[in-house]
A and B are shown apart, each in its own frame.
Chain A
Amino acid sequence: MSDHEELESNVAAWVLGALDREEAEVVQAHAEGCASCRETAARLQRAVTALPLLVEEVEPPARLRERILAAAAAARDATTAPSRVRKKVTFPVRGNVLAPLFGRLPAYAAAAAVVVALVAGLVAGELVGRTGQVPPPSQVARFTLSGHESLAGAKATVIDLKGDGLALVDFSGLPAVGQGRVYEVWLITSGGRADPAAVFVPDGNGSKVVLVNRALQGYTLMAITNEAGPDGTQAPTQKPQLYGTVA
């Protein structure tokens, strides 16, 4: 079998995305100089373009529309608005990185350790995937914040849009924040410095999608406290009861 015949036999797999990366590069390079293979690829691509129509439509969660439109608006703002300067504040650090949040309550430390272990295991398992190779980080990462004590029924999902330098946080199960109060989102570095990231008031169902208009890179934790409204504070005034790792 000639080189052309060998490569031409891979064109169907190429347009289906069923070649390993190295194989795909070889076929692509060949097709760029081979009119016959380009014609075959174009013909077969017609069928591949139609394949998504085989799938049944599934109604996505209503929040997805809000998430996408919020992220689109943020991405557009990020390209037009000047960056905002935020005052850096610091948690009163004692001991290790988790101490400011959890040091005075051993149960919190234990819970945080479990979260870290779970996230680490999940990420490692996902990254290894079916190929057995550890790939570069994805452009989107997902984290979970868990509620404790008075916020035990609350949770949040953090979508880190690394490529856009921002994150969306989907809160649910939050109790009413109280008259004149807001929930404030904090990002905490490994050194214990807490940067205010956003303030919000949940809707009547205890839900809210919040835009964090900054990159999560360099932070290890996200936490939420109840602070004075409408703008929150520059330093947390209470122990967080909803938190999780974002690294």
Chain B
Amino acid sequence: MGLGAVGGADSELAVAIAAGSQDALAELYDRYAGLAYGIALRVLGDPGRAEDAVQEAFLNVWNRAAAFDPERGSLRSWLLTAVRNRSIDYLRGRGAHERREQDLEPVASMVGAHSDPWHEVSLKLERDAVREALSSLPAEQRQAVQLAYFGGYSQTEIADMTRVPLGTVKGRMRLALEKLSSYLRGRGLVDV
């Protein structure tokens, strides 16, 4: 079971991984390890701990693949969200069990994640679109989102760091995400 999924869509990889196919796990690694390691390295700035975070995220997929529901998000989103969350946990010295976010349940998934076997092409298009969307935001909104997502800072910490009222930080985050969401939906890059 599962060997036929290698080279197929991410959703097929998930089924194969749940069935215990190491080839499918290796395929998932080959597709997304560069992105996963890039995320961990950006958050942690430490190659050793970045490796640990990436490893934990892949093993999380391996151990919990049977619970994966493609209707609730893509395998790629699940994996990369886990990498980001594990990295932030390392940064803050938290155990993963403390995390309350349901990283198994991204509410929407990127359309391109379902476009395999053209995943490399679709991934590039998605990345270009997301970067374009982010660059269109005012600098202070972009900063608030990046400090939270990649820096692991709370909105209160961001308010202190940037010396603006907490309400302003909340507004910047909200506006930034609304614009990004609208932009991506307008480009047909999200499912819902």
A residues adjacent to B (C-beta < 8 A)? 9-13, 15-21, 24-25, 28, 41-61, 64-65, 67-69, 71-73, 75-76, 126-131, 134-140, 142, 157, 159, 161, 164
* Contact A135 B93, beta carbon cutoff 8 Å: yes
Q: Given A46-B190, A64-B33, A68-B58, A18–B155 Cβ distance below 8 Å?
A: yes
**What are 7 of the A-B contact pairs (CB < 8 Å)?**
A13-B154, A13-B155, A44-B174, A51-B130, A68-B55, A135-B92, A140-B56
Contact A18 B181 (CB under 8 A): no
For A61, what are the chain B residues with a Cβ–Cβ distance below 8 Å?
A: 47, 51
Residue among B34, B145, B177 with most chain A CB within 10 A:
B177
- Which residues from chain B contact A51 at a C-beta distance below 8 Å? 84, 130, 145, 149-150
Give the complex CA separation of A220 and B95 in angstroms. 21
CA distance A47 to B180 in the complex (A): 5
* Residues of chain B with a CB closer than 8 A to A58's CB: 34, 37-38, 41
Which residue in chain B gives the minimum CB-CB distance to A127? B93
Task: Give bound CA distance, A45 to B178, whole Å.
Answer: 9
Closest 6 CB pairs of A and B: A57-B34, A129-B93, A47-B180, A18-B148, A60-B37, A45-B107
CA distance A49 to B192 in the complex (A): 13
Q: Report chain A residues within 8 Å CB of B156.
A: 20
Also in contact, A67 and B77, with CB within 8 A (given A45-B108, A50-B110, A127-B93): no
B89 interface residue (CB < 8 Å to A): yes
Given contacts A44-B178, A59-B37, A139-B96, contact A69 B148 (CB under 8 A): no
Tell me the bound Cα distance from A42 to B90 in angstroms: 27
Given A47, A60, A136, A161, which contacts B51 in the complex, CB threshold below 8 Å?
A60
A43 to B176, CA, bound (A): 12
Question: In whole angstroms, how far apart are the Cα atoms of A129 and B152 in the complex?
Answer: 12
Q: For B20, give the chain A residue with the smallest CB separation.
A: A76
CA distance A20 to B154 in the complex (A): 7
Question: What class of interface size applies to chain B in its complex with A?
Answer: 35 or more
**How far, in whole Å, are A41 and B58 apart by their CA atoms in the complex?**
26
* A56 cross-chain contacts in B, Cβ below 8 A: 38
Is B66 interfacial (CB-CB < 8 Å)? no
* B126 contacts chain A at the CB level, 8 A cutoff: yes
Instruction: Please tell me if the beta carbons of B174 and A53 are within 8 angstroms of each other in the complex.
Output: no
Q: Tell me if A46 and B92 are in contact (CB < 8 A).
A: no
Is B81 interfacial (CB-CB < 8 Å)? yes
Supply 11 further A-B pairs (C-beta < 8 A) apart from A45-B107, A54-B130, A138-B96: A44-B181, A47-B178, A47-B181, A49-B81, A53-B35, A53-B123, A65-B26, A67-B51, A72-B62, A76-B20, A142-B49
Cross-chain contact B29 with A68 (CB below 8 angstroms)? yes
Contact indicator A21/B174 (Cβ below 8 Å): no
Q: Which residues of B contact A13 (CB under 8 A)?
A: 148, 154-155, 170, 173
Find out whether the CB atom of B154 lies under 8 angstroms from the CB atom of A49: no
Q: Is the CB of B167 within 8 A of A17?
A: no
With A and B bound together, what is the CA distance between A30 and B133 in angstroms? 30
In contact, A138 and B189 (Cβ under 8 angstroms): no
Q: Across the interface, which residues of A come within 8 angstroms of B108, CB to CB?
A: 42, 45-46, 49
Q: How far, in whole Å, are A51 and B77 apart by their CA atoms in the complex?
A: 10
B22 engages A49 (CB within 8 Å): no
